[in-house]
A and B are shown apart, each in its own frame.
Chain A
Amino acid sequence: MNILVFIKQVADTEARIIISSDNKTLEIENKYVINFFDEFAIEEAIRIKEKIKDSRITICTYGPARSIEGLRTAIAMGADRAFLIDSTNYESDDPLIVAEILAAFAKKEGFDCILCGRQAIDDENANIGAMAAEFLNIPHVNCITRLDVLENGKVRVESEIEGGKKVLDITLPVLLTTQKGLNEPRVPFITGVMKAMKTEIITIDPASLDVPKETLDKNASKTIIFSYEAPPQRLPVKIVEGVTSGEKAKALIKALRDDVKVI
């Protein structure tokens, strides 16, 4: 099985983020990690390879040079090769553009199955999977919780739907997005880390891929971030007064009913 995994390096949850004084740019503390949901994609690819020996796992990211760190982690976990599509001179926030570039890479490399996280925890878009599948004209399934490779060129996937679960058999090639519950991502062994240090990460220019010229234009995005702002601050917490639980419960109800009028 030829497996591609799309990953993204994102700011860690704990990273400090400062809005510039003109509200137009963000300064992000240099603490980056592999997107939480992408770890399940890498792990699932490795588990497929453990079952089907004749498999190859290729990791790909579209991002700046610092993303190489995440690619090395994926190799250390057990992936075979990794590519960095360098976004330095191109638009990289618009999901439509990112998906089109990743799809072009997939088309060039060839694949049976693409795995990626259900959403990135920085922009929280949840778009890349379905958009890339559309550009590749292949089926997608979002938020899978179980994956079994069948013998007849199909996969059986269980996925989350509104208030339940759905099981589908899908003809390959396919794109699947991953989430918590699918597996437990492994921590790389030291031997894996050493292998990753020696592995060459291939950097490619998006211009070498078959994407429309307009997509690579600096102003290709039709959406523009106009400004950033900090979320509204809540007032300091009001600790409900009372000695007994009964008094506290009454005081809380009173506040919810009379002060903020939500019950």
Chain B
Amino acid sequence: MSKDVFVFVESKEGVIRKVSLELLSKGKEIAGHLASRLHAVVIGYQINDIAESLKVYSDSVITVDNELLKEYSWDTYTAVFAELIKRYNPYMILGPSTVTGKDFFPRLAARFRSPMVSDAIGVDFDDNTVKIKKPLFGGKILSWVVCRSDSMIFVTFRPNSFSIEAGDLNGAIVEEHIEVTRDPRLNIVSVEKTISKKVDLQEADFIICGGRGVNGPENFQILEEIADLMNGRVGASRSVVDSKWRDYDDQIGKSGKTVSPKIYMGCGVSGALHHIMGMDTSKVIVAINKDPNAPIFQYADYGVVDDMFDLLPILKNELQMVKEEV
């Protein structure tokens, strides 16, 4: 086994996902510690442009380009990735803790009977031992996991765990040819993508989250406007989703998604524990609530005690002005 590092690069409509660049930045640091090479692994169809733009981020860009790999499916992706692992014998295989990463990384780990650490948020080194930081119990506890060095290891990381560093490498593109076959037991009936133009909730840098206090689905308009202005996304608390004001896709919390944006802004969110579990790794938490006793203020960096319907339109104009200054 080499000490090389693989990063699975996920893209969406031809654009590399931010989380993949975060992992390549961290991967470079890990490969540096292990005195090994970093490989960006791109699987898909017509991926030349993606591969080209990855050269600066890795020592080599491994591509498998095949029409059958255009849409992600665990059967094809697991098989192709497994074959690449056999050819290159890497030590660490990094991927995103996204719907896709969560879907096929466990299958890969089981196929190789190799350990897997999921939903991690950090990496550290103890001499030559890699330590991985992973939250447990909805973020109430952080654990540091070490893996025995004689085994290959799979790790998935949450989006927004690492910053993206400017690329200064010059990796060569290596095209690998692997035969792709679909699993005949799976038949796709339909694929429906709803909000593909917007950034995914888990990758968003800015999230404005509406709670019970938004008082109805029609009132989310101002939150949408601010989210669009900030290139972010609107999130929702559980009660909002349960009332069918917003889709489940927007739900933040224990029973929904875990997010760590740069700015989380809760509007009319009371701050129940199961919601806090989904957002308390955000960099800056802003709470806007007219009730000064709302529990969310205990978890926030900044609190605004005000009626959101008075505050948000003004806030939107102010944010607009900041944007124009830049």
Contacts from A to B (Cβ < 8 Å): 11, 13-14, 17, 19, 26, 36-37, 94-96, 99-100, 121-135, 138-140, 142-143, 145, 156, 160-171, 174, 180-181, 221-231, 234-235, 237-240, 245-246, 248-250, 252-253, 255-257, 260, 262-263
Contacts and interface: CB of A to CB of B under 8 A. Distances in A.
Contacts of B287: 237
Contacts of B318: 249-250, 253
A223 B144 CA distance: 10
Contacts, number: 251
Name the prevailing secondary structure of the B interface residues.
mixed
B280 A231 contact: yes
A177 B146 CA distance: 28
A164 B141 contact: no
Nearest to B315: A249
A251 B253 CA distance: 29
18 contacts: A124-B119, A124-B136, A133-B107, A134-B110, A160-B99, A162-B100, A163-B194, A164-B194, A164-B196, A223-B148, A226-B144, A227-B144, A231-B141, A237-B299, A238-B301, A252-B302, A253-B319, A253-B322
Interface of A is mostly: mixed
B297 interface: yes
Report, as a range, how many residues of chain B touch the other chain: 35 or more
Contact of A126 (B72, B119, B273, B315): B119
Contact of A36 (B146, B192, B198, B255): B255
Interface stretch (B60-68, B167-175, B181-189): B181-189
Nearest to B280: A231
A14 B193 CA distance: 36
B115 A96 contact: yes
B103 interface: yes
Contacts of A239: 292, 297, 302-305
B263 interface: yes
